[in-house]
Structure 1
Amino acid sequence: MLEQKLEALKGIFAEMDRAIIAYSGGIDSTLVAKVAYDVLGDRALAVTAESPSLLPEDLEDAKIQALEIGILHQIIETHEMENPNYTSNPVNRCYFCKSELHDTLKPLALSLGYPYVVDGVNADDLRDYRPGIQAAKERGARSPLAEVGISKMEVREISKFLGLPWWDKPAQPCLSSRFPYGEEITIAKLQRVGRAELYLRKLGWQNLRVRSAGDTAKIELPPEQIKGFVLNTDLPQLVAAFQELGFIYVTLDLEGYRSGKLNQVLDLEIRDRHTPSQVTIG
């Protein structure tokens, strides 16, 4: 089944001739970049958006992975932080982020002669509240993984099958997802939460989130790792490090990390009220 889906994925790119990949360096878009390169060679271009919501270390990872794949790689700047519709952090914040990204990618693709822009949206993403998906579709982007029906787990399995060393890389969505809806996003806040997560990564904890709410940092880890974290971490030193970054309070989420947790505060009425089709971009 996986090999059939991989062949179907290759078939999509074989029909494209030339394509730009919206490449964040995450496991999904990296698989798309790998398959695109295997099929199209130098007719595939991976493009990474550099912005305050991406840690410099993650940008370096994206560069290293693109180099190992062999795909052409270009860095562009996006300016979603200049849009108050984004920085005010409404429930459809991702719509404005992806609008900025694809409003930058589309003219780039046209100017360079690439008829297609594709992203790393997978089949599981379609089952969550992801307003950015609609923004990409409105601008003509395609999502080959979702088209083939490849789930997040299958992304990892196919990546492992292809020998990609980062097949088990933790998911790393943009840093803006660390803030509760309605709290203003600033560059300083993004840098603070990014440095806090990097601090924990260097301690050996990889699959994690640091949620930021005002002056409080809430650490999320997989439930099975919580006990070991408490027993094996120098907690006073960790608190001191977080306070040096600007947090006042440091807490641990006892439920543990769960993808999409930010969206649990949304009910259907709120989601319907803020669907991207009802938003006027100013």
Structure 2
Amino acid sequence: MQRLQDKYKALLTYLKGLEGVVLAYSGGVDSTFLLMAVRDSGIAALAVTAVSPSTPSSDLTTALDMVNSISSAHEIIHTDELKDKNYTSNTPDRCFYCKSELFKKLKAIAEAKGLPHVIDGSNADDLGDYRPGLRAKAGYGVKSPLAELGLTKADIRELSRLNGLKTWDKPSSPCLSSRFPYGEQITVNALHMVEQAELTLNELGFKAMRVRKHGDMARIELPEMDIEKAVSPEIKETIIRRLREIGFLYVTLDMEGYRSGSLNRVLPVYPLRKTYEG
């Protein structure tokens, strides 16, 4: 317990040294915890939530709820990554273009508001996965206080719980484009199909899950404890019927279950963007 309290004190000290920030605020576990810390630090701050067809609509609902709860200044912006063919062609560095679009707009807001820094909620665990979006931060000088101070996802969830944040046990919610295998074109309609499929499963009581889109096939990933429920006759038929109504021709259940980043297991050979381009 003391270790976590010491980490939080170090985070507040770090934030006070920044004097003023624009926070990339998604409404997730990490950015909500960081928003609370920014408030507690007393520095000038603006939380900014980006909205586009690639972000689940439920994330905006959570973000608005938590911003009100924490009493933070907040703005909503729209990002245009789907206008960039480098993004929609869905190569392994797709996130580089998405984050570049986001951070470019956040940096402009920070400059207009006279706030010296842009920060995001990346944590220490994020540094170990394949995340080309992290490379986009360097070009725009974006700081990641949680990662820099060694705060892990487990640390953040526990500190969030202790501080009464409703997001403490919220499942991770990356952008909807992460549900597509590299090389499959990303379109507004395809993103909508994935979002509707996951909303369907959520309505049926499944919380932590993914619907991966492979052409006209939906590959459902569920925690092992939920697989038996999903294959029960009534639930199975409901899932198949509703996902076919959404537009999927085939509906499958992945026997390996839910795991974050499963599409990164085998990366196809694409040239990766190694340098920042503004």
Deviation at 1:278, TM superposition (A): 4.6
Identity of aligned residues (%): 47
- Give the aligned partner of residue 85 of structure 2: 84
- Give the aligned partner of residue 27 of structure 1: 29
Tell whether the 8 Å contact from 2:180 to 2:213 is kept in structure 1 after alignment. yes
Amino acid at match of 2:100: S
Deviation at 1:232, TM superposition (A): 7.1
SS in structure 2 of the partner of residue 247 of structure 1? coil
Deviation at 1:279, TM superposition (A): 7.0
The Cα offsets for residues 4-31 of structure 1, whole Å up to 9 and x where unpaired, read as: 1111111111111111100011111111
CA distance in 2, matches of 1:13, 1:280: 28
Deviation at 1:203, TM superposition (A): 1.2
- Give the aligned partner of residue 38 of structure 1: 40
Amino acid at match of 2:10: A
Deviation at 1:38, TM superposition (A): 1.5
The 1:159–1:254 alpha-carbon spacing in structure 2 relative to 1, beyond 3 Å, is same
Does 2:63 match 1:66? no
Of the structure 1 ranges 172-181 and 253-262, higher mean CA displacement relative to structure 2 is found in 253-262
Of the structure 1 ranges 49-58 and 211-220, higher mean CA displacement relative to structure 2 is found in 49-58
CA distance in 1, matches of 2:53, 2:115: 27
CA distance in 2, matches of 1:260, 1:72: 32
Structure 1 counterpart of 2:274, from 271, 274, 277:
277
- Give the aligned partner of residue 266 of structure 1: 267
SS in structure 1 of the partner of residue 182 of structure 2? coil
Structure 2: where are the runs of 5+ without partners?
Answer: none
Amino acid at match of 1:3: Q
Tell whether the 8 Å contact from 1:18 to 1:40 is kept in structure 2 after alignment. no
- Give the aligned partner of residue 180 of structure 2: 179
| Residues 200-279 of structure 1 aligned to structure 2 (within 5 Å) | 200-231=201-232, 234-266=235-267, 270=269, 273-274=271-272, 276-278=273-275
The Cα offsets for residues 163-213 of structure 1, whole Å up to 9 and x where unpaired, read as: 112200000000000000000000000011001101111111110000001
Deviation at 1:225, TM superposition (A): 2.1
- Give the aligned partner of residue 123 of structure 2: 122
Amino acid at match of 2:15: F
CA distance in 2, matches of 1:224, 1:243: 25
Task: Output the aligned Cα RMSD.
Answer: 1.5
Tell whether the 8 Å contact from 1:218 to 1:252 is kept in structure 2 after alignment. yes
Tell me the TM-score normalized by structure 1: 0.94
CA distance in 1, matches of 2:102, 2:192: 20
Deviation at 1:233, TM superposition (A): 5.0
SS in structure 2 of the partner of residue 75 of structure 1? strand
CA distance in 2, matches of 1:72, 1:279: 30
The Cα offsets for residues 37-95 of structure 1, whole Å up to 9 and x where unpaired, read as: 11126x11110001001122221111111111111110011100000000000001000
CA distance in 1, matches of 2:128, 2:86: 24
Structure 1: where are the runs of 5+ without partners?
Answer: none
SS in structure 1 of the partner of residue 15 of structure 2? helix
- Give the aligned partner of residue 199 of structure 2: 198
Tell whether the 8 Å contact from 2:22 to 2:110 is kept in structure 1 after alignment. yes
- Give the aligned partner of residue 108 of structure 1: 109
Tell whether the 8 Å contact from 2:122 to 2:146 is kept in structure 1 after alignment. yes
CA distance in 1, matches of 2:222, 2:147: 28
- Give the aligned partner of residue 160 of structure 1: 161
- Give the aligned partner of residue 52 of structure 1: 53
Deviation at 1:122, TM superposition (A): 0.5
CA distance in 2, matches of 1:279, 1:31: 29
Amino acid at match of 1:141: V
Tell me the TM-score normalized by structure 2: 0.95
Amino acid at match of 1:105: L
Tell whether the 8 Å contact from 2:136 to 2:276 is kept in structure 1 after alignment. no
- Give the aligned partner of residue 14 of structure 2: 12
Tell whether the 8 Å contact from 1:18 to 1:114 is kept in structure 2 after alignment. yes
- Give the aligned partner of residue 142 of structure 1: 143
The 1:236–1:119 alpha-carbon spacing in structure 2 relative to 1, beyond 3 Å, is same
